[in-house]
């Protein structure tokens, strides 16, 4: 078939793909927005982790993720569990109760069967816990040396709660920024599990299903709920920078309000990393209208696992889209997106 379609406007100029293009920060955004989206998405599409498809019976949310985490097993979880929770959580971030998942496996020849079985068991447990069915999939095997043991891709669907209307475009000055709990646990856990740095810490990944928390938030504050995002690769800083840009607002964080465990803070100080750039798997950010903020927080805190939910900042009118953090002494710093890739293959 001859195509009349002309080459779309491709702004991505890097000659080849590097690890940073997969890290979820600035380089990822350049790749996605500059090369992939112009070809495969309709122009003007708001790039979210979850898409909506209109059906006769309602709005269907649909999402997909690839998982290449190294190591495959780490304190608190493994690649199979991440693959289920990560996709189920993207659906939750679209205001959708996870309904069904499909999964594809790319296996490296030579993978011990017991490792595959362990991850199948992890997926089954995670699916049961998240209340979602795994309904199908596909398995491919590549030669030894053409993968790294096991890569998993999951795609999921869910029905969007009819009460929610989530979009960066609905975020406005005065809205409050909520966070479900302490940040950085997943990223630092992975880093320590690699054994590349000498540091002992009692830390586990925060991987968990987020729908129970989101459901409580919808029940309590749906009319005031503007935006949800799980700050995975690139961390809270990257997620909020994307919000600032998409909503054309200034996000002002209360530096001391952001919960960070001492182990995470300590590791970040030693490594010269900002906890705001570290990946999470079981936390999320919510922007709510000010009159709903208290009800939203109370609702979150009543859900098991939600006790640490906290208000961490607010949206302000901004001449330019930026994320700022104010300390209690009045100092202000600019929080940038993640640049480079300090922690490759974090999920």
Distant-in-sequence, close-in-space partners of 200: CB < 8 Å, separation ≥ 6: none
Closest to a second copy by CB, 124 or 197: 124
Closest to a second copy by CB, 118 or 248: 118
Closest to a second copy by CB, 106 or 178: 106
- Least CB distance from residue 28 to a second copy, whole Å? 7
If you compute the radius of gyration of the chain from its CA atoms, what whole number of angstroms results? 20
Which pair of tokens denotes residue 207? 């991987």
Burial class (CB in 10 A: 0-12, 13-18, 19+), 242: buried
Closest to a second copy by CB, 133 or 270: 133
Give the DSSP H/E element, type plus range, for residue 191.
helix 185-193
Closest to a second copy by CB, 112 or 331: 112
Give the DSSP H/E element, type plus range, for residue 138.
strand 133-142
Closest to a second copy by CB, 10 or 197: 10
Among 276, 169, 167, 293, CA closest to 231: 276
Distant-in-sequence, close-in-space partners of 138: CB < 8 Å, separation ≥ 6: 104, 105
Is residue 62 a contact partner of residue 55, using CB atoms and an 8 Å limit? no
d(CA 89, CA 278): 18
């Amino acid at each position: 078939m001859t195509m009349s379609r002309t080459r779309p406007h491709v702004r991505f100029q890097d000659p080849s793909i590097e690890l940073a293009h997969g890290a979820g920060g600035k380089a990822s955004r350049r790749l996605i927005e500059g090369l992939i989206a112009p070809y495969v998405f309709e122009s003007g599409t708001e790039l979210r982790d979850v898409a909506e498809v209109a059906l006769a019976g309602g709005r269907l949310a649909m999402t997909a993720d690839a998982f290449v985490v190294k190591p495959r097993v780490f304190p608190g979880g493994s690649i199979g569990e991440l693959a289920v929770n990560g996709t189920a959580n993207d659906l939750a971030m679209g205001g959708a109760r996870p309904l069904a998942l499909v999964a594809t496996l790319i296996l490296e020849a030579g993978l011990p069967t017991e490792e595959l079985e362990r991850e199948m068991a992890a997926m089954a447990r995670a699916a049961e816990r998240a209340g979602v069915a795994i309904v199908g999939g596909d398995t491919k095997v590549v030669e030894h040396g053409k993968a790294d043991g096991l890569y998993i891709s999951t795609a999921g669907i869910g029905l969007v709660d009819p009460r929610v209307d989530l979009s960066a475009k609905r975020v406005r000055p005065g809205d409050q920024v909520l966070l479900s709990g302490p940040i950085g646990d997943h990223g630092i856990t992975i880093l320590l599990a690699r054994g590349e740095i000498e540091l002992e810490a009692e830390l586990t990944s925060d991987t968990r299903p987020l729908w129970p928390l989101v459901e409580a938030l919808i029940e309590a504050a749906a009319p005031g709920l503007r935006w949800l995002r799980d700050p995975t690769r690139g961390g809270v800083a990257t997620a909020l920078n994307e919000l600032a840009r998409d909503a054309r607002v200034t996000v002002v964080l209360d530096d001391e309000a952001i919960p960070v465990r001492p182990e995470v803070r300590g590791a970040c100080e030693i490594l010269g990393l900002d906890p705001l750039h570290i990946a999470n798997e079981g936390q999320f950010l919510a922007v709510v209208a000010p009159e709903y903020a208290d009800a939203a927080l109370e609702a979150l805190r009543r859900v098991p696992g939600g006790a640490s939910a906290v208000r961490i900042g607010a949206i302000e009118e901004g001449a330019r889209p930026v994320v700022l953090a104010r300390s209690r002494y009045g100092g202000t710093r600019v929080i940038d997106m993640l640049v480079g890739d300090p922690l490759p293959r974090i999920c």
